Structure 1
Amino acid sequence: MADWLDDAQVIEELERKRSIEGLLARPRPSGPSRSHCLTCDDKIPARRQAMGAIVRCVPCQTTFEKGNRR
């Protein structure tokens, strides 16, 4: 017989799976990346550029995303 902790774990796993599937289903921008950040004009690392369609460095992208959540 399952107890409430087992039920909670099953629910948590389902929610995590749905969340991951939702993130993976979102359309991802494609195309060439910029070599320098659109916001601060610092160089974007090659490993980040390789992801495709990158226009900002990590700190500027983080600030940009936080601003869009408000």
Structure 2
Amino acid sequence: MLEYMKRLVNRKDEKGASAVEYGLLVAAIAAVIVVAVFALGGFVKGTFENTCTGITTEATTAGGAANVGDC
């Protein structure tokens, strides 16, 4: 029985280590996504604003309604 207890105490269990590694991997991926959103956010916003302006300009130039609404 004493031998069994020694083996139980000295057993190397790496399940916790792999869970920590997966947690670090998920955190790194989340950080990359956050950086990408902040880096590309202004570009995407500008593209949508330019598209909205173009649609509004074309609608009023083509004789459409004066009030085309907000994009």
In the superposition, the TM-score normalised over structure 1's length comes to 0.40
Q: Provide TM-score, normalisation by structure 2.
A: 0.39
Say which structure is richer in helix.
Answer: 2
Q: Larger C-alpha radius of gyration, 1 or 2?
A: 2
